[in-house]
Amino acid sequence: MKYNKPRGSLDFFDKNIEIYNFILKKFKIFAKLYNFKEIKTPSFEEKDIFIRSIGKSSDIVEKEMFYLFSKNRNKEYKLSLKPEGTASVIRAIIENKLLERSNFLLKLFYIDSMYRYERPQKGRLRQFHQFGVEYLSKKNYYIDAECIILAINFLKFLGIKNFKLHINSLGDLVSRQKYIKILKLILQSKTLCNDCKIRMNLNILRVLDCKKEKINDIPKIIDYINDEEKKYFKNILKILKLNKIDYVIDNKLVRGLDYYTSIVFEIYYNDSNWSKNTLVAGGRYDNLVANLEGKQCDAFGFAGGIERLMLVLKDAKNITNQLDVFIISLSKEAYNVSFTLSLLLRKNNIKTDLNKDFSKTLKQQFKLCDKYNSKYIVIIGDKEIVNKSVILKDNIKKNEKNISIDLISNFIKGELKNDKKI
């Protein structure tokens, strides 16, 4: 019988597990640099949390939730796998009274698996991983700007260049309602796709970001939001400009999750071959904590898709785990010396491996060094054993020298430290 991985999921091995771990490690460093503390929530939650927060009419709740059946099949399922992180984090914050304990100032980050029953395609999976932050504090445009800049700087730090920040404001509830009335009138006279006909009644703003519709001649939401919100939006744009962050004001950006209020943003990867190209997305959600029956607290956050970053970084060099030292042995006696040296190098935190197969020629042993992408090659033969030395080849600087076997460990340690400084 042949088993395959479930549709829309991935196996991680070889280069892709290294790229995955690289993104994970760097995001942790980055989030801590901005003073975010880590939180981990369960893989499943009560489904109502998502229905109440993301919204009944959202694609996620309507079509994409993975529900879990309890043992007793007659009981209605109450749980669902997590389709996103925000609602789950907010549930944990409320349940554990984290806001009260932190005097209503919380900066949290997470890295987690999410599950959505989608039609799998490039960059769109049923199990995927998100990195994200949630910043809970009194509304302040420096918070929005800090989170957006964190996301942008993280992508730059990974070496990703080809992206664009799209930003919009949904304004406050009153002005949004005003805008929705006008929008309804205008859209009634248009022929819409089947999905948008449903959205007209459930969440009309979502018609704006429908990929099938080309709706151009409609008023911009920005012209309907009140002065305070306009000023708030302008202040964020000013901070972005001041810090040399390019952006596009995108009047059609409304986001597919209902909890957003005010500012929303998405960061797209510019690749025409790839339609599901939002790398990071988020915004302000000032009512969610109260909606989930916590104390009122404003919030801003974002999440990014790790598999999407993996697609972008798949050809990046220097991500894959490099071996520090590979040891080549030229005689039977040398194998013993090499083996003992490998243990000593590992004891000194130097990533080391060695050839153990007597039948391998020198050329074949060099091939192994290439396979492991080793920074240094140590060569030991009978002559070296007599002289108590080794040949050390530096694969990066492309030089070679003889060095006493007693000094080799400290020498490589020093060289690796210098590499890290650069």
Q: Shortest CA distance to 103 belongs to which of 145, 136, 143?
A: 136
- Whichever of 148 and 378 has its CB closer to ligand HAM, that residue is 148
176: closest CA among 139, 217, 224?
A: 224
The CB-of-150 to ligand HAM minimum distance in angstroms stands at 12
Closest by CA position to 271, among listed 123, 391, 151: 123
For residue 32, count other CB atoms closer than 10 A to its CB.
Answer: 12
Under the binding rule (CB under 6 A), the answer on residue 171 touching ligand HAM is no
Largest CA distance in the chain: 92
d(CA 80, CA 47): 5
Which of 30, 31, 41, 84 forms a contact with ligand HAM (CB under 6 A)?
Answer: 84
Q: Which is nearer to ligand HAM, 302 or 326 (CB)?
A: 302
Q: Does 130 bind ligand HAM (CB under 6 A)?
A: yes
The residue among 80 and 130 lying less far from ligand HAM, judged by its C-beta, is 130
- 388-396 long-range contacts, CB within 8 A, separation 24+: 390/341, 395/369
59 binds ligand HAM (CB under 6 A): no
Nearer to ligand HAM, 277 or 338 (CB): 277
Q: Does 281 bind ligand HAM (CB under 6 A)?
A: yes
Q: Would you count residue 147 as binding ligand HAM (CB under 6 A)?
A: no
Long-range contacts of 380-387, Cβ-Cβ distance < 8 Å, separation of 24 or more: 380/327, 380/328, 380/329, 380/330, 380/334, 380/337, 380/338, 380/341, 381/329, 381/330, 381/331, 381/334, 382/330, 382/331, 382/333, 382/334, 384/334, 385/331, 385/333, 385/334, 385/337
Site string for ligand HAM, 287-306 (x = CB under 6 A): --------------xxxxx-
Does 125 interact with ligand HAM (rule: CB under 6 A)?
Answer: yes
Task: Count the residues of the shown chain that bind ligand HAM, applying the rule CB under 6 A.
Answer: 27
Min CB(127)–ligand HAM separation in Å: 8
The reply on whether position 279 binds ligand HAM by CB under 6 A is yes
Of the pair 126, 393, the CB lying nearest ligand HAM is at 126
Q: Which residues here bind ligand HAM, judged by CB under 6 A?
A: 84-86, 116, 118, 123-125, 128, 130, 132, 134, 257, 278-283, 285, 301-305, 307-308
